[in-house]
């Protein structure tokens, strides 16, 4: 039996979780106050994932950058690769919320999507 | 120009207040915003975690703002951008708001009611008494956030962050993802001012050390920051000799507290709380100046935008009721709320039971970290709320919900007290 103490990051409550494991398998999650907490506790000790938020360059927009996020969570170990991949991306204005700025980021099967509208500069 | 309602600030509070007031039947509304777009600080908060309460999903700041901006557009609520409000006055014909922008020049606008939704500002270096030179490379965390996320500039490569408020933690991760090396986050207090989840996902995920009970005692570099010296502090927050540590860096970010921005509020005679630095309000979020309401971070600094939206919607509804002439209950008894025994303040600070809706959410913060204790509310000497809390911390806003029936059905009392009680 092995236990790990975690803080749930699903919401700002930040519940203190205790995850009990045996031979790498999760036996129980305690301290959570909702179902998401249980899922987080299980995932965090087996396959931790994160939503990654960042920004990419925009050409011809009212702002020089647009904010982006992974459409769903990706493995925690891919965060740096993801950030690096975004450095090479530039999109043309206008950009709309939900536009895909990079498909299948770092082979995760997850798209990077815009989270802000950037209108084109009127010439 | 004459309006029913003028809302000062087009951030999360102003937007939610406008939507709510319009839905409550106020026709003639104007939002005044000094930035180039609506949405306020949310536009630079590109991380996720917004909207879990309001929309039951996790959004980034700009996405959350967009949900409200769309509602403002659909309801055809007018707004003016690039517009700075200079003064507000109270008079017989309502409130006069003096504002200016490039298109309209100087404007004298009148309104029957005003909602203050100007938000807050960061505490700057000048307010922190950090010794040392004044080189380039010292930014508040929020300024750095705007530069990186909206203007596309990187403020530096080797970074030390003073203060562990949420913006500081978020920027530690953000600068790291943009290729900077964040060497340490130092916090004067023995606990972090930020949310636990941010310590996990912004510091622990990236192996960024958090040094509690530490502060910056020197800044080196004449033209540009070349390094800073940290020292541990004792229980009186005085640096302990012999604990100094030098960090070479080109950037120092400050995340040392937010202060509600109330220069305008004072001009119309709004009474401010010395603890929140925001207006003193009653259950309707109305200040001591009738017809002037306040909501969001100008009232008290929130951790969650969801609560800002909720509070602002109530301010909008209460302003609508005032405009309809419903709040003329002059002989209504007003009961003060006292924050004692660990509770630093409450919002609202007074309650008129007769003017309450069925329930009222009273928000507060504690002054220190408490474990396994109770939050209690007393009406006079009678306890009506007693809830166990595993942990209370200054960085996390708490709330209690009061029922109108509890305050009106029973015998009279002349004060309400909110306190922390040991188990």
Q: Which of B152, B174, B200 sits opposite A7 (nearest CB)?
A: B200
Residues B281 and B309 in one domain: yes
Q: At what angle do helices B305-323 and B12-23 cross, to 10 degrees?
A: 40
Residues B114 and B131 in one domain: no
B47 in contact with chain A, both atoms CB, cutoff 8 A: yes
Q: List, by residue range, all CATH 3.10.530.10 domains of chain A.
A: 53-114
Nearest to B99 by CA among B90, B109, B91, B89: B109
Q: Which residues pair with A2 in a beta bridge?
A: A21
Note the pLDDT of residue B260. Answer: 96
Note the pLDDT of residue A95. Answer: 97
B158: domain CATH number is: 3.50.50.60
SS3 B17: helix
Q: What is the largest CA-CA distance in chain B?
A: 68
Chain-centre distance for alpha carbon B35: 18
Nearest to B415 by CA among B315, B358, B336: B336
Topology (CATH level 3) of domain A2-47: N-terminal domain of TfIIb (2.20.25)
Residues B241 and B362 in one domain: no
pLDDT average, residue stretch A11-40? 87
B152 in contact with chain A, both atoms CB, cutoff 8 A: yes
Residues B251 and B191 in one domain: yes
Query: Beta-carbon neighbour count of residue A51 at 10 Å?
Result: 17
Inter-chain CB proximity B197 and A8 less than 8 Å: yes
Neighbouring residues of A57: CB distance < 8 A, sequence distance ≥ 6 = A64, A65, A89, A90, A91, B152
**What distance in Å separates residue A14's CA from the closest CA in chain B?**
6
Inter-chain CB proximity B199 and A7 less than 8 Å: yes
A119 in contact with chain B, both atoms CB, cutoff 8 A: no
Q: Which helix (H) or strand (E) holds B62?
A: helix B61-74
Inter-chain CB proximity B149 and A52 less than 8 Å: no
Half-sphere exposure of A20 (CA within 13 A, CB side): 6
Spatial distance between the Cα atoms of A21 and A24, rounded to a whole number of angstroms: 6
Among B206, B229, B256, residue at a domain's last position: B256
**What distance in Å separates residue B323's CA from the closest CA in chain A?**
35
And the tokens for A28? 């129980």
Q: List, by residue range, all CATH 2.20.25 domains of chain A.
A: 2-47
Q: Which of A53, A83, A97 sits opposite B47 (nearest CB)?
A: A53
Residue of chain B whose alpha carbon sits nearest to that of A31: B390
Residues of A in contact with B150 (CB under 8 A): 63, 65
**Which residue of B47, B56, B172, B399 is the best one to mutate when testing the A interface, meaning the one whose CB has the most A CBs within 10 A?**
B47
Note the pLDDT of residue B327. Answer: 60
Residues B23 and B106 in one domain: yes
- Give me the residues of A, 28-87, that contact B with CB < 8 A: 50-55, 57, 62-65, 67-69, 76, 79-80, 83, 87
Note the pLDDT of residue B421. Answer: 93
Chains A–B, number of C-beta pairs less than 8 Å apart? 87
SS3 B126: helix
Q: At what angle do helices B166-177 and A79-86 cross, to 10 degrees?
A: 70
Inter-chain CB proximity B197 and A12 less than 8 Å: yes
Residues B229 and B171 in one domain: yes
Domain A53-114 annotated CATH 3.10.530.10: yes
Classify residue A14 as left (phi > 0), alpha (psi -120 to 50) or beta. left
Note the pLDDT of residue B132. Answer: 84
Residues B198 and B170 in one domain: yes
The 10s digit of each residue's pLDDT in A79-97 is: 999 999 999 999 999 999 9
Residues B164 and B219 in one domain: yes
Inter-chain CB proximity A63 and B52 less than 8 Å: no
Residue of chain B whose alpha carbon sits nearest to that of A97: B63
And the tokens for B296? 């969001």
**Which residue of B52, B60, B70 is the best one to mutate when testing the A interface, meaning the one whose CB has the most A CBs within 10 A?**
B60
Residues of A in contact with B148 (CB under 8 A): 55
Q: What is the largest CA-CA distance in chain A?
A: 66
Residues of A in contact with B66 (CB under 8 A): 97, 116-117
Domain count within chain B: 3
Assess whether pLDDT exceeds 80 at residue A11: no
Spatial distance between the Cα atoms of B16 and B51, rounded to a whole number of angstroms: 13
**CB burial readout A59-79, b (16+ within 10 A) else e:** eebebbbbbbbbbebbebebb
Backbone angles phi, psi at B367, to 5 degrees: -95, -10
In this prediction, residue A9 has a pLDDT band, given cuts at 50, 70 and 90, of confident
Alpha helices (H) in B302-347, listed in sequence order: 305-323
Residues B283 and B363 in one domain: no
Inter-chain CB proximity A63 and B150 less than 8 Å: yes
Inter-chain CB proximity B150 and A65 less than 8 Å: yes
Residues B268 and B207 in one domain: no
- Give me the residues of A, 76-105, that contact B with CB < 8 A: 76, 79-80, 83, 87, 97
Q: Which of B46, B303, B391 sits opposite A67 (nearest CB)?
A: B46
Domain residues for the domain of B285 are 1-122+257-328
**What distance in Å separates residue A46's CA from the closest CA in chain B?**
15
Residues B214 and B157 in one domain: yes
Among B230, B256, B282, residue at a domain's last position: B256
Among B296, B328, B360, residue at a domain's last position: B328
Residues B180 and B302 in one domain: no
Per-residue pLDDT of chain B (423 residues; tens, 9 = 90+): 899 999 999 999 999 999 999 999 999 999 999 999 999 999 999 999 899 888 988 899 999 999 999 999 999 999 999 999 999 999 888 999 999 999 999 999 999 999 999 999 999 998 888 888 899 999 999 999 999 999 999 999 999 999 999 999 999 999 999 999 999 999 999 988 888 889 999 999 999 999 999 999 999 999 999 999 999 999 999 999 999 999 999 999 999 999 999 999 999 999 999 999 999 999 999 999 999 999 999 999 998 999 999 999 999 999 999 999 876 666 688 999 999 999 999 999 999 998 999 999 999 999 988 989 999 999 999 999 999 988 888 888 999 999 998 888 766 888 999 999 987
Inter-chain CB proximity A76 and B205 less than 8 Å: yes
Inter-chain CB proximity B152 and A55 less than 8 Å: yes
């Amino acid at each position: 039996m092995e236990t790990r103490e975690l803080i749930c990051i699903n919401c700002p409550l930040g519940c203190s979780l205790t995850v009990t494991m045996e031979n790498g398998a999760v036996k129980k999650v305690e301290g959570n106050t909702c179902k998401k907490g249980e899922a987080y506790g299980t995932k965090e000790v087996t396959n931790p994932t994160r939503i990654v938020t960042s920004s990419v360059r925009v050409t011809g927009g009212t702002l020089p950058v647009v904010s982006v996020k992974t459409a769903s969570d990706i493995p925690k170990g891919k965060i740096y690769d993801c950030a690096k991949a975004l450095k090479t991306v530039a999109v043309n204005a206008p950009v709309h919320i939900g536009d895909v700025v990079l498909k299948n980021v770092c082979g995760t099967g997850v798209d990077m999507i815009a989270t802000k509208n950037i209108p084109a500069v009127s010439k | 120009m004459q309006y029913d309602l003028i809302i000062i600030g087009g951030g999360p509070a102003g937007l939610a207040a406008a939507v709510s007031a319009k839905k409550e039947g106020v026709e003639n509304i104007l939002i005044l915003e000094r930035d180039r777009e609506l949405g306020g600080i949310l536009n630079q908060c590109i991380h996720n975690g917004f909207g879990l309460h309001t929309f039951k999903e996790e959004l980034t700041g700009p996405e959350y703002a967009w949900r409200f901006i769309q509602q403002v557009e659909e309801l055809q609520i007018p707004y003016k951008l690039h517009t700075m409000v200079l003064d507000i006055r109270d008079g017989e014909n309502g409130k006069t708001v003096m504002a200016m922008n490039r298109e309209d020049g100087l404007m004298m606008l009148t309104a029957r009611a005003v909602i203050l939704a100007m938000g807050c500002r960061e505490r700057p270096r000048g307010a922190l008494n950090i010794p040392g030179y004044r080189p380039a490379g010292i930014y508040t965390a929020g300024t750095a956030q705007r530069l990186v996320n909206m203007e596309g500039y990187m403020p530096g490569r080797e970074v030390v962050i003073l203060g562990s408020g949420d913006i500081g933690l978020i920027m530690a991760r953000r600068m790291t993802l943009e290729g900077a090396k964040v060497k340490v986050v130092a916090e004067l207090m023995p606990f972090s001012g930020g949310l636990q989840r941010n310590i996990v996902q912004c510091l622990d995920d990236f192996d960024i050390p958090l040094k509690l009970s530490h502060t910056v005692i020197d800044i080196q570099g004449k033209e540009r920051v070349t390094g800073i010296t940290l020292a541990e502090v004792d229980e009186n927050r005085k640096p302990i000799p012999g604990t100094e540590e030098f960090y070479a860096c080109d950037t120092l970010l400050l995340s040392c507290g937010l202060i509600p921005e109330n220069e305008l509020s004072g001009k119309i005679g709004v009474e401010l709380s010395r603890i929140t630095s925001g207006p003193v309000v009653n259950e309707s979020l109305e200040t001591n100046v009738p017809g002037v309401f306040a909501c969001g971070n100008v009232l008290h600094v929130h951790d969650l935008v969801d609560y800002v939206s909720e509070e602002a919607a109530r301010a909008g509804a209460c302003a609508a009721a005032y405009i309809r002439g419903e709040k003329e209950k002059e002989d209504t008894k007003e009961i003060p709320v006292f924050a004692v025994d660990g509770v630093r303040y409450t919002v609202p600070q007074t309650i008129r039971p007769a003017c309450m809706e069925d329930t009222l959410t009273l928000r507060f913060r504690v002054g220190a970290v408490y474990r396994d204790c109770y939050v209690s509310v007393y009406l006079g000497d009678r306890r009506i709320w007693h809830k166990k809390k595993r942990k209370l911390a200054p960085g996390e806003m708490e709330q209690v919900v009061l029922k109108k029936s509890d305050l009106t059905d029973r015998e009279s009392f002349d004060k309400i007290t909110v306190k922390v009680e040991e188990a």
